[in-house]
Amino acid sequence: MSTVRYRRQQVGNVELFYREAGPRDAPVILLLHGFPSASHMFRDLIPLLADRYRLIAPDLPGFGQTKAPPRSTFDYTFDALADVIDGFTEALSLGRYALYIFDYGAPVGLRLAMKHPERVSAIVSQNGNAYVDGFSDEWGPWEAYWRDPSEANREACRPSLAADTIRNWQYGTGTDRSLLPPDGYELDIAYMARPGAEEIQLDLILDYRSNVALYPDFQAYFRAHRPPLLAMWGRHDPAFIPAGAEAFRKDLPDAEIHLLDTGHFALETHHREIAAGMRDFLARTLAR
């Protein structure tokens, strides 16, 4: 079994924490986590793929173990997160990689793909949305905040960050609770309790509207560059419904879609199924 190493890389005024495993000369998979998590969400997946691939999983600024500046000196937007991850790939000389995109990692990764389409060998989307079709009817407070960024609407989004919401709604909805380890959600809850964490997340919730505005550009990238795409999607996700996975076929007719009997954080219960699907997909795709 390949050893997982825990490293740090300075990118501007951000000290990125990341996990890395696998042979240095193997094809690279860049794993981008979602909200409100960090690279620890890949803790079970990485060992299942590290015999054949070099896996690199950074914590985004504002998440996990990455050390980022305060809000007063760093703009917590998705453009800024993508710029940092772009600088990270440059620092590690990652000239070619497959993208694993989940939740917030999707708009970050797709910004990279639009900027450097020649670098992206394939995309694995695990509940990583790029179509309005994928939105459930649970986005009301966030959408109200996007339309009117008042203090009242900001406060109305704060329950999204509460421990019970993380534990029971984000992780628990549609998941077999007997298979759901507490480690992931309890760590996410602890990260959210750190000083200043909620305000950073509320800034990103407001800026999420920039991702929706970019959906037509993401879709144009798909049509222009035809990246091989595999969607491994928790079908009971309360935020991103299966229609978001099926929508990839509008612009990528050959996209491979697999709906899993679980929720948003599908890796917590279905990492073996996702690893098996990725091994098959990437073996065929990268060989071409």
The residues carrying an active-site annotation are 264
Residues 6+ apart with CB under 8 A from 161: 36, 192, 198, 201, 202
Q: How many residues does the chain have?
A: 288
Residues 6+ apart with CB under 8 A from 87: 11, 12
> How far does Cα 193 stand from its chain's mean position?
21
**SS3 annotation, 211-263:** HHHHHHHHHHHHHHHCCCEEEEEECCCCCECHHHHHCHHHHCCCCEEEEECCC
How distant, in Å, are the alpha carbons of 152, 153, 229, 269 from that of 145? 9, 5, 32, 32
Give backbone dihedrals phi and psi of 69, rounded to 5 degrees, phi first.
-65, 165
Interhelix angle for 197-225 vs 182-192, to 10°?
Answer: 120
Q: How far apart are CA 288 and CA 278, in angstroms?
A: 15
User: Strands (DSSP E) along the chain, which ranges?
Assistant: 5-11, 14-21, 28-32, 54-58, 97-101, 120-125, 229-234, 256-260
Q: In what order do the strands lie in the sheet with 120-125?
A: 5-11, 14-21, 54-58, 28-32, 97-101, 120-125, 229-234, 256-260
